[in-house]
Amino acid sequence: MTSRYSICGVVFALLAAGCGPAPEEDRLATAERMCLDQQWREAISVLKAHLLEHPDDPGAHFYLGRCYFNSGSDYLYSAGGEFETALTFFVKNGRKNTIERFPDDFFELICHIEGAKVPLKVADVLMSRGAPYWEIEPFLDACENKLEQARAVDPDHKDVTDLQRLLDELRQALRSVHKPAFPRVQPTGSIII
């Protein structure tokens, strides 16, 4: 009788172990897959849950920044903060990232690149609203500063050169469209508007 209960107990334990919920998949891997599928808003909750358990995960902060960046202009400042946080924890962790598909030096570069895109997108939003050049220019300068940090990692990387070209073209276009707010005085004393 005892062996019968023992066998039933073992069978029950095996069934219970096999029939229970599947082990939880790594949330960062799930969020990464969602980001690659451009499911930005859905990935936010997965990343936040992951960050509750792993608040110093640079890869999760990077992906959360990407999610915010791609979720509309209301989230741009949050995106910039997440890219900065990712870099902070990257450095704190001995320049190691948690995204397996990214080499560590590329992770640092891409955080700077994505961080540079944030003020550029803010400038784009301001331009679409007809803001004057003097309101837009500080965001272009912020983009340039972030781009300098990316250039320090890899000056010849295609993303760095492409973003610099885009920034230069945007500055040129803005200067040709927006006239100075105050008239300039030429040495002859005539006023040019």
CB atoms inside a 10 Å sphere around CB 65: 26
Q: Supply the pLDDT for residue 11.
A: 42
Stretch 62-91: mean pLDDT: 97
Helix (H) or strand (E) holding 65: helix 58-69
| Residue 27 neighbours by CB under 8 Å, 6+ apart | 46, 47, 49, 50, 53
Q: What is the CA radius of gyration of the chain?
A: 25
| Domains, in order of start, for the chain | 25-180 (1.25.40.10)
Please, are residues 61 and 51 in contact by the beta-carbon 8 Å criterion? yes
CB atoms inside a 10 Å sphere around CB 145: 13
Instruction: Work out the percent of the chain whose per-residue pLDDT is above 70.
Output: 79
Q: Supply the pLDDT for residue 184.
A: 47
pLDDT digits (tens, 9 = 90+) for 13-65: 444 444 433 345 699 999 999 999 999 999 999 999 999 999 999 999 999 99
Type of residue at 157: H
CB atoms inside a 10 Å sphere around CB 135: 14
Calculate the alpha carbon distances from 169 to 19, 101, 123, 163, 164 in Å: 60, 32, 13, 10, 9
Alpha carbon 170 to its chain centroid, in Å, reads: 21
pLDDT digits (tens, 9 = 90+) for 128-159: 898 998 999 999 999 999 999 999 999 999 99
Stretch 77-104: mean pLDDT: 96
Rounded Cα distance, 6 and 10, in Å: 6
Beta bridge partners of 184: 192
Using CB atoms within 10 A of its CB, is residue 106 exposed (0-12), middle (13-18) or buried (19+)? middle
The closest alpha carbon to 169, from 114, 120, 106, belongs to 120
Alpha carbon 167 to its chain centroid, in Å, reads: 18
pLDDT digits (tens, 9 = 90+) for 100-129: 999 999 999 999 999 999 999 999 999 889
Residue with tokens 């082990």: 23
Beta bridge partners of 191: 185
Indicate whether this model's pTM tops 0.75.
Answer: yes
Of the pLDDT bands very low, low, confident and very high (cuts 50, 70, 90), residue 93 is very high
